């Protein structure tokens, strides 16, 4: 090549250059595992929201039924009101408050979640037990129906869960006793699951009674029972997972 002669410049298509630049600067594509976790979180959050809607509908309908004759109310309406507010509103929210997918508590610090949990638990248990004792004092014969028998199971496990919850609340201060904090948390979760499930079964047997079916109609009563079964299942999912994980860790370390 003669001296003082340079190569002719190579001109590129601007659109091609732009496309290549965009390819080089695109953010990395999320992995399939990350997408699966995201989709699972969306699904669990949706289930949680569905549980809140079903709880609101169920509690609202039952309160309307209990107050259908106006105020003042007798022993049976008092029993219904206190138990449904205690078990299926406050205690349900107490369990949901610890879920990472619960709307109103998801942004709270862990210490505040636990505080909300035990406050709701104590208030709910107190109302529910008061409602049960009102009906016990109102009747001369007890536990002869499935509604009454499951109510007794729920009362026992709710009471034990309240006492056991105090140990779980101060579990961090009891770490010197080795297994006691872990066992107290496991038993608290177990008792809570059984107590709340028994309360939901009790409610379903109560809804199945003739005086409610005659007021609400058979189809609507069946729908409410399905609502109770659905939100109960959703509510106890997270405690079941927590119980399984804590049990596995406990047995692995001992």
Q: What is the dihedral of CA 96, 97, 102, 103, to 10 degrees?
A: 130
pLDDT at 75: 94
pLDDT at 198: 97
27: number of Cβ within 10 Å: 5
Identify the residue with better confidence: 43 or 171. 43
Highest mean pLDDT among 33-47, 132-146, 178-192: 132-146
Residue 11 has pLDDT above 50, yes or no: no
Mean confidence (pLDDT) of the chain = 85
Confidence category of residue 27, pLDDT binned at 50, 70, 90: low
pLDDT at 233: 96
Confidence category of residue 128, pLDDT binned at 50, 70, 90: very high
Q: What is the pLDDT of residues 151-161, one digit of tens each?
A: 999 999 999 99
Residue 110 has pLDDT above 80, yes or no: yes
Q: What is the pLDDT of residues 179-203, one digit of tens each?
A: 566 777 888 899 999 999 999 999 9
Q: What is the DSSP string of the chain?
A: --TT--PPPPPPPHHHHHHHHHHHHSPPPPPHHHHHHHHHHHHHHHHHHHHHHHHHHHHHHHHHHHTTT-SS--HHHHHHHHHHHIIIIIIHHHHHTT-TT-TTTTTS-HHHHHHHHHHHHHHHHHHHHHHHHHHHHH-SS-S-SHHHHHHHHHHHHHHHHHHHHHHHHTGGGGGGGTHHHHHHHHHHHHHHHHHHHHHHHHHHHHHTSHHHHHHH-HHHHHHHHHHHHHHHHHHHHHHHHHHHHHHHHHHHH-
Q: Measured between alpha carbons, how far is residue 199 from residues 92, 143, 146, 205, 207 in Å?
A: 11, 14, 12, 10, 12
Q: pTM here?
A: 0.82
Choice among 10-19, 75-84, 95-104, 111-120 with the minimum mean pLDDT: 10-19
Residue 23 has pLDDT above 60, yes or no: no
pLDDT, average across residues 105-115: 89
pLDDT at 41: 86
153: number of Cβ within 10 Å: 16
Residues 6+ apart with CB under 8 A from 118: 94, 165, 169
pLDDT at 17: 47
pLDDT at 166: 75
Confidence category of residue 39, pLDDT binned at 50, 70, 90: confident
Residues 6+ apart with CB under 8 A from 8: none
pLDDT at 1: 45
Residue 76 has pLDDT above 90, yes or no: yes
CA–CA separation, 158 and 182 (whole Å): 20
Say whether domain 53-253 belongs to CATH 3.30.70.100. Answer: no
Highest mean pLDDT among 15-29, 151-165, 197-211: 197-211
């Amino acid at each position: 090549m003669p001296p003082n002669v340079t190569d002719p410049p190579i001109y590129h298509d601007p659109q091609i250059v732009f496309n290549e630049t965009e390819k080089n600067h695109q953010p990395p594509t999320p992995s399939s595992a990350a997408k699966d976790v995201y989709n699972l979180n969306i699904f669990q959050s949706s289930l949680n929201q569905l549980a809140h809607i079903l709880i609101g509908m169920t509690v609202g309908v039952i309160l309307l039924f209990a107050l259908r004759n106006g105020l003042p109310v007798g022993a049976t309406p008092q029993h219904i009101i206190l138990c449904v507010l205690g078990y299926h509103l406050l205690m349900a929210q107490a369990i949901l408050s610890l879920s990472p997918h619960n709307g109103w508590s998801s942004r709270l610090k862990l210490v505040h979640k636990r505080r909300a949990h035990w406050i709701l638990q104590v208030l709910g248990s107190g109302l529910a037990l008061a409602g049960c004792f009102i009906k016990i004092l109102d009747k001369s014969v007890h536990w002869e129906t499935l509604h009454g028998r499951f109510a007794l199971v729920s009362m026992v496990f709710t009471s034990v869960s309240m006492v056991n919850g105090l140990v779980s609340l101060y579990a961090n201060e009891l770490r010197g006793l080795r297994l006691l904090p872990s066992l107290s948390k496991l038993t608290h979760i177990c008792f809570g699951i059984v107590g709340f499930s028994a309360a939901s079964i009790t409610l379903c047997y109560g809804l199945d009674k003739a005086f409610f079916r005659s007021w609400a109609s058979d189809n609507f009563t069946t729908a409410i029972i399905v609502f109770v079964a659905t939100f109960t299942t959703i509510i106890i999912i997270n405690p079941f997972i927590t119980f399984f994980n804590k049990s596995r860790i406990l047995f692995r370390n001992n």
